Amino acid sequence: MALQSFFRDSPPLVLEQQHFQALLDALRARGYRLIGPTVQDDAVVYDDVESVDDFPTGWMDTQSGGTYRLESGGGETLFGYTASPQSWKRYLHPPVLELWKALRTNGTYRVASADPPPRLAFIGVRPCELHAIAIQDKVFLHSEFVDPHYQARRDNVFIVAVNCGQAGGTCFCVSMNTGPKAAAGFDLALTEVVDGDLHYFLVEVGSERGADVMRDLPHRPAGEGEIEAADAILTNTAASMGRELDTNGLKELLYRSYESPRWDEVAARCLTCGNCTQVCPTCFCTTIEDVTDLTGSEATRVRKWDSCFTMDFSYIHGGSIRYSAKSRYRQWMTHKLATWVDQFGSFGCVGCGRCITWCPVGIDITEEAQAIRDGSGAAK
């Protein structure tokens, strides 16, 4: 799954837009189920795709605090949108997962075998989302305990990354050093270039699997002008971020700001709905439910996404240890930008901006961090 150094010096290739379908066909021929961006319910969501006609051609989104709007106007671009409401987490770390099922027959029990996960090809993974997947890899694969369910899915994924041609209104990936260009973790990485009658993808190969797929596709080496055009797009994207987060000394700042009055101010607005944790591509908290049927012949253990914003999440004997909105928001933000660094060696935020867009009251994590930095109660 790691980027092989052999490919770092491989020259970029050009895949013409009319051959994009051939990429999908080549992946399907290798037994992959294709997951890519589609338009559903006035939003771009990741779902099964069969052909290029399923992609959100010409669609663009406008995002701000608590606001998401999809509109046509992107010309012929396939990837003119920014961050989808969903993340790829739902396919690697599903919202509801049956861990095991026990069946009783004639007085004996047997555990039913789970079906193996499908081979998935992710089409259109943004650079920030590559970093989010790498963060979850740390949690589920590279810690003391390996999650076999995550591992089975992760081992079967082919990743086609797409570099960002524009920044969203709530994006701040440059601040987190996670975009707008993919650096690692992909099999193929595309930069979409539309210039007049020209429409092509600059392709970088990131693995032997990616190289194998490209051998089946019509392509040619990229010219210097084509490489420069792709670089110009990424430079413009990096210069037009919708948000900015100053990460210098941020962990230490949050540690000494536990009693900042800013937590009371944000708690007065926070609905503790948990939207931010559900759309976040790195949050991994879960709960376990055991269920039996009425006859007592079947028992199932299910793992479901949970959120640190629920009262039950921190419940111990005697009650919840985070009973207030203030304590729950403080826990979430401090974990993302401080304690996560101590746990896993990186921030738990990749700058995708989803938590800002999908907060019903538009709470902005970058704004809250800056308010604390500006001196609203932090110890000096």
Q: Give the H/E segment covering residue 54.
A: none
pLDDT value of position 376: 52
**What separation in angstroms does the CA of 73 have from each of 42, 56, 61, 77, 125?**
14, 11, 10, 9, 22
Q: What tokens appear for 28 in the block?
A: 């399907």
**Distance of alpha carbon 104 from alpha carbon 174, whole angstroms:** 55
Count how many Cα atoms sit within 13 Å of the Cα of residue 106 in the half-sphere of its side chain: 0
pLDDT value of position 255: 96
pLDDT value of position 8: 52
Contact 44, 87 (CB under 8 A): no
Report the residue count for the chain. 380
**What separation in angstroms does the CA of 119 have from each of 31, 33, 35, 92, 154?**
7, 6, 10, 11, 9
CA 290 to chain centre: 29
**Distance of alpha carbon 36 from alpha carbon 89, whole angstroms:** 13
Q: Residue 190's closest CA among 79, 112, 315?
A: 79
The low-confidence residues of the chain, meaning pLDDT below 70, are: 1-9, 74, 376-380
Q: How many C-beta atoms surround the C-beta of residue 17 within 10 A?
A: 17
3-state secondary structure of 14: strand
pLDDT value of position 379: 39
**Distance of alpha carbon 249 from alpha carbon 259, whole angstroms:** 18
Burial of 342 (0-12, 13-18, 19+ CB in 10 A): exposed
Q: How many C-beta atoms surround the C-beta of residue 212 within 10 A?
A: 13
